[in-house]
A = this chain, B = another copy of it.
Amino acid sequence: MANEKKLVKAITARDEDFAQWYTDVVREAELCDYSSVKGCLNYLPNGYAIWENIQKDLDARFKETGVENVSLPMLIPESLLEKEGDHIEGFAPEVAWVTHGGMERLQERLCIRPTSETLFCDLWSKMVRSHRDLPKVWNQWNSVLRWEKTTRPFLRSREFLWQEGHTIHATYEEAEQRTLTMLKVYQDFIRDSLAIPFVSGRKAENEKFAGAQDTYTVEALMHDGKALQSATSHFFGNGFPDAFNIKYIDKNNQPHSVYETSWGLSTRIIGAIIMVHGDDDGLVLPPRIAPVQTRVIPIAQHKEGVLEKADELLAALKAAGYRAKIDDSEKSPGWKFSEQEILGIPTRIEIGPKDIEKNQVVVVRRDTREKIVVSIDEITTKLGEILETIQKDMYEKAKAFLNSHIDTAVTMDEMVEKFKANRGFVKACWCGDEECEGEIKYATGGASTRCLIEDEEMISDTCIFCGKPAKHMAYWGKSY
């Protein structure tokens, strides 16, 4: 059992040092690590397999709403990036520049895309002539690069993997609707497939994407009480398209503006999965996106018939459509249990001589450690039920945590107190001025608006800081 202890000890307790716990889980589960290129990650098989399942699930949801995938270049000429004023201002400080190609100095610098609005608009300016060319509802799965100063695995790195959807429409309303449709796709995916609860809504002015008219966000709460912006959907109006001269000829034979959206979700979301569901023993993965849903672990595997029966079980599980693996290595069962827990595999199935005698197996849930004895004859159906229960319970547990970490405040004293006493979101009203937000941020040690609350009655008429009439109610929180 020495090995088992060694494995578990490698992870710092979550409540002792959350940041170190996170780093330990990422390392011990072999999800990703830093490469020799400063701030850039190697996504290793265990981490990338999670991303592949995210892609598969989310891509199918996109396509159900009519999204088509494309692939545009990774390089953007400087003159193109500069076409929309707010956009270049937002991104210029954090792009990487290519100045030489082969042996030659380039006439114009090219940046590695930090995001691709400019490339999509440039392409559409050449493609769109009539209303029959609209809408365009496109997406790409790619990587982008932003020259960040400080980096953390999944949460912030110079290069990161994501999807970026870009659309244009003949009318304002249709584009606005698309922005909200994609927000809902993200909400459904994050809740139903990742078992992560959230608050969600429109961003305040200074939290919007560079160049957007409206940004909608999904904000999940991590176990340490910090918020993580998990997906965003932007409505651009006609600002970008006009800057790129994308027009269609309408029924009156007049050039008409088009309206644009973009929306994205990145490998950051893997950080959310870790920090919402993980525990002191490692990762806990929701069954719907877990690369491996169950690992068969033979007990006393040297005894006659055990490995044979375990292999049979594995074959039956695979045939029934489960993502199943076996650990028939020479390591001790304790070591194997420990590794399955670190990796966050939702269930393990123990099968030993006594189980075989009784025609049963023992299913152990990763999330609760509950042991469930199941007849071998029923395992291929029962496992599905257990995985569904895990998925549901993980969401409920995280939802309860979120609910117990949402407070309200109507005075600054309350606000400061709440941020001291509890971790999480605080509902408070605000005049909308940036200056007040800065003061609130300072007083609370870093809280900013995560999203506006527009479908509830305001809890106060006045700004929590300056006392002037309140313009917005918002969820305030400290964020990654």
Q: Is there a chain B Cβ closer than 8 Å to A279's Cβ?
A: no
For residue A97, which residues in chain B have a CB less than 8 angstroms away from its CB? Answer: 98-101
CB <8 Å contact, B98 and A37: no
Q: Give Cα A224 to B94, complex, Å.
A: 48
CB <8 Å contact, A147 and B75: no
For residue A37, which residues in chain B have a CB less than 8 angstroms away from its CB? Answer: 73, 75-77, 110
Q: Is there a chain B Cβ closer than 8 Å to A210's Cβ?
A: no
CB <8 Å contact, A101 and B96: yes
Question: Which of A52, A93, A97 has the largest count of B CB atoms less than 10 A from its CB?
Answer: A97
> Known contacts A93-B103, A96-B100, A97-B99; is A43 also within 8 Å of B71 by CB?
yes
Q: Is there a chain B Cβ closer than 8 Å to A102's Cβ?
A: yes
Interface residues of A in 62-105 (CB under 8 A from B): 68-77, 80, 93-103
Q: Give Cα A38 to B93, complex, Å.
A: 24
> Known contacts A35-B73, A73-B159, A74-B159; is A96 also within 8 Å of B98 by CB?
yes
CB <8 Å contact, B95 and A102: yes
CB <8 Å contact, A45 and B68: yes
Q: Select one of B43, B51, B77, B98 contacting A36, CB under 8 A.
A: B77
How many A residues face the partner with a CB closer than 8 A?
49
For residue A102, which residues in chain B have a CB less than 8 angstroms away from its CB? Answer: 93-96, 147
For residue A51, which residues in chain B have a CB less than 8 angstroms away from its CB? Answer: 71
For residue A98, which residues in chain B have a CB less than 8 angstroms away from its CB? Answer: 96-99, 112
For residue A77, which residues in chain B have a CB less than 8 angstroms away from its CB? Answer: 36-37
For residue A74, which residues in chain B have a CB less than 8 angstroms away from its CB? Answer: 40, 74, 112, 143, 145, 159
For residue A112, which residues in chain B have a CB less than 8 angstroms away from its CB? Answer: 74, 98, 112
Name the residue of chain B whose CB is nearest to the CB of A59. Answer: B52
CB <8 Å contact, A161 and B35: no
Interface residues of A in 133-177 (CB under 8 A from B): 138, 142-143, 145, 147, 158-159, 161
Q: Give Cα A94 to B42, complex, Å.
A: 24
CB <8 Å contact, B70 and A44: yes
Given A35-B72, A37-B73, 6 more pairs with CB closer than 8 A = A42-B71, A42-B72, A42-B119, A43-B72, A45-B68, A74-B143
